[in-house]
A = this chain, B = another copy of it.
Amino acid sequence: MNMIKVAVVGATGYTGVELLRLLARHPNVEVCAVTSRSEAGVGIADYFPSLRGAYDLQFQDPAAADLSRCDAVFFATPHGVAMRDAPALLAKGVRVVDLSADFRIRDIPTWEQWYGMPFTAPDALSEAVYGLSELNREAIRTARLVANPGCYPTCVSLPLLPLLRADALLPEMPIVADCKSGVSGAGRKAAVGTLFCEAGDNFKAYGVSGHRHLPEIRQTIASLQKNVADKLIFVPHLTPMIRGMHATTYVHLQDGVSPQNLLEEFYSGSPFVDIMPPGSMPETRSVRGANVCRIAVQKAPYDAGNVWILMSVQDNLVKGAAGQAVQNLNIMFSLPETAGLDAVPLLP
């Protein structure tokens, strides 16, 4: 079988180096170009010594790189870049997986409000498929443009999907998603707030008045159980670990509904969602470095309703970003969904 030729645009961040890590050992993929405006000409293994021996490529200037010879391009860029550059690639027959937020939101005014810039690629948006693999697997197969989900939306949505599809949530009650992320979620740019001495031995909430992943999660909820779409309360927190994300989601379910079975059935064919046995409490480290979301559910000790606590963990850089992007690539190119993604989590 021919190797699929891919490029990574904007590979100096954490999502980028994680893509490179995963793609280096993908049996069906060849990385033929990696671009970076700031590091053009630098060897990627000089820039990231962890890649020594795995790559012999240099960062190319995006303006100079001819990406049209690739079969697929990953965008690991700040928002705005894929919106600008993806349409030309699509026109040349290159398929695109965008890890930025550009094509995640269907409603253009909503996107513009949250991202603070005009949206300029409505045609591309109209064909974009939201790349939550387990939700949209069929549409992804034939998609030319996949909008890879945000890390929080992946972690919060996966335990909710089966419940929403079953219309199991009480429409008059809130859905509280209290989420905790490792610091790599904030990216690799120089900033005081994510210094070791600021983020270490510390815990805090952020984005409480409104985080960009809120409309993204609401959009997914609304697509499945419309009458609870406005019931989401979402608060992200920064926790002093490098990788890992934990969502604790509190839901009020219809009387008699027990989510364990709903979840097990929904994900029976999904290799990367692990429904743990009753009584489990998933640890973020149990998925470190691997493309897995582990989920456990527990009934709350609560007499006033059928309240359940949904706990979901993922490596924010893998299932929450680069790993799901590769998963989507696999689906798009009819590869085994697990190709290049079978590494066992690193513990401890």
A281 to B271, CA, bound (A): 38
Interface size, chain A (Cβ < 8 Å): 94
Whether, in the assembled complex, A17 has its beta carbon less than 8 Å from a beta carbon of chain B, the answer is yes
- Whether the pair B25, A343 counts as a contact (CB closer than 8 A) is yes
Report B-chain residues with C-beta under 8 Å of the C-beta of A205: 246, 248, 281, 309, 311
Q: How far is the CA of A102 from the CA of B103 in the complex (A)?
A: 53
Give which listed residue, B178, B246, B304, contacts A204 with CB less than 8 A: B246
Q: Are B303 and A208 touching (Cβ within 8 A)?
A: no
Q: Within the complex, what minimum Cβ distance (angstroms) separates A103 from chain B?
A: 23
Contacts of A339 in B (CB 8 A): none
Q: Is the CB of A54 within 8 A of B344?
A: yes
Contact present for B197 and A49 (CB under 8 Å): no
Task: Output the nearest chain B residue to A51 by Cβ-Cβ distance.
Answer: B344
Cβ of A182: which chain B residues have Cβ within 8 Å of it?
Answer: 201, 203
Is A180 touching B183 in the complex (CB atoms < 8 A)? no
A18 → chain B closest CB, angstroms: 8
Copies of this subunit: 4
Interface flag for A7 (CB, 8 Å): no
The 3 closest A-B pairs by CB, nearest first: A50-B347, A197-B348, A178-B178
* Chain A residues in the interface with B (C-beta under 8 A): 14, 17, 20-21, 24-25, 48-54, 173-174, 176, 178, 180, 182-184, 188-192, 194-206, 208-210, 214, 230-231, 233, 235, 237, 239-244, 246, 248, 250, 252, 271, 274, 276, 279-290, 292, 294, 298-305, 307, 309, 311, 313, 342-348
Give 9 new A-B contacts, CB below 8 A, not counting A183-B197, A184-B348. Answer: A49-B283, A50-B285, A184-B197, A195-B195, A196-B240, A200-B348, A201-B244, A206-B281, A209-B301
Query: Could you show 21 A-B contacts with beta carbons less than 8 Å apart?
Result: A49-B283, A49-B286, A53-B292, A174-B252, A178-B250, A180-B203, A180-B239, A197-B348, A200-B241, A200-B348, A202-B285, A203-B246, A203-B284, A205-B246, A208-B300, A230-B302, A230-B303, A240-B241, A242-B348, A288-B346, A289-B346
